[in-house]
């Protein structure tokens, strides 16, 4: 983990916003949070007193980033429309379902092809997230990927 103050030290998902997914989805969420906390770059525009705590939720069909300081004090809340993510999230879940079914029965080459498609859609979602956060929160590509995974998990219920 980096010693930088431009990082997240905790990530929580609002339980009221989350519908429980399949074991595969729950496993992906746990890995994304673990990986995110192990290594991330999360810097707030105009604010240099991290590290930060993050609560992600969905309220009124909007993605809410409730960002707090190390002690839990409120810093800023950013609210993003989910509209730019809808198609990507839907495509991502369709490919994930195929992937999780295939890993049980398909040949390695078919699994690899579907996984490449899955990673491509995931990268697209990560790029859209980075663009939507521009001027608010600076994240690197790996942090955006892990955050996109969490957005997918939050969106599962909706």
The pLDDT tens digits for 17-54 are 766 667 877 787 788 899 999 999 999 998 877 899 99
User: Is 4:143 a contact under the CB 8 Å cutoff?
Assistant: no
155 secondary structure, DSSP code: H
Q: Is 137 left (phi over 0), alpha (psi -120 to 50) or beta?
A: beta
User: Residue 103 and residue 23: Cα distance in Å, rounded?
Assistant: 14
14 vs 120 pLDDT, higher one: 120
Q: What is the pLDDT of residues 106-157, one digit of tens each?
A: 899 999 999 899 999 999 999 999 999 999 999 999 999 999 988 887 766 4
User: Residue 95 and residue 7: Cα distance in Å, rounded?
Assistant: 31
Please report, for the chain, the start and end positions of each structural domain, with discontinuous segments joined by +.
8-155
User: Is 10:53 a contact under the CB 8 Å cutoff?
Assistant: yes
User: Residue 64 and residue 31: Cα distance in Å, rounded?
Assistant: 21
pTM of the model: 0.85
């Amino acid at each position: 983990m980096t010693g930088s103050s431009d990082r997240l030290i905790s990530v929580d998902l609002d339980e009221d916003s989350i519908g429980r997914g399949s074991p595969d989805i729950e496993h992906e969420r746990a890995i994304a949070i673990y990986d995110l906390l192990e290594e991330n770059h999360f810097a707030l525009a105009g604010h240099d007193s991290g590290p930060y705590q993050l609560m992600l939720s969905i309220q009124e069909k909007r993605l809410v980033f409730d960002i707090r300081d190390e002690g839990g004090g409120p810093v800023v809340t950013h609210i993003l429309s989910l509209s730019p993510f809808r198609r990507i999230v839907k495509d991502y879940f369709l490919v994930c379902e195929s992937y999780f079914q295939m890993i049980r029965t398909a040949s390695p080459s078919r699994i690899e092809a579907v996984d490449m498609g899955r990673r491509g859609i995931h990268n697209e979602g990560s790029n859209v997230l980075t663009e939507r956060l521009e001027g608010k929160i600076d994240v690197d590509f790996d942090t955006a990927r892990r955050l996109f995974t969490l957005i997918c998990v939050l969106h599962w219920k909706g």
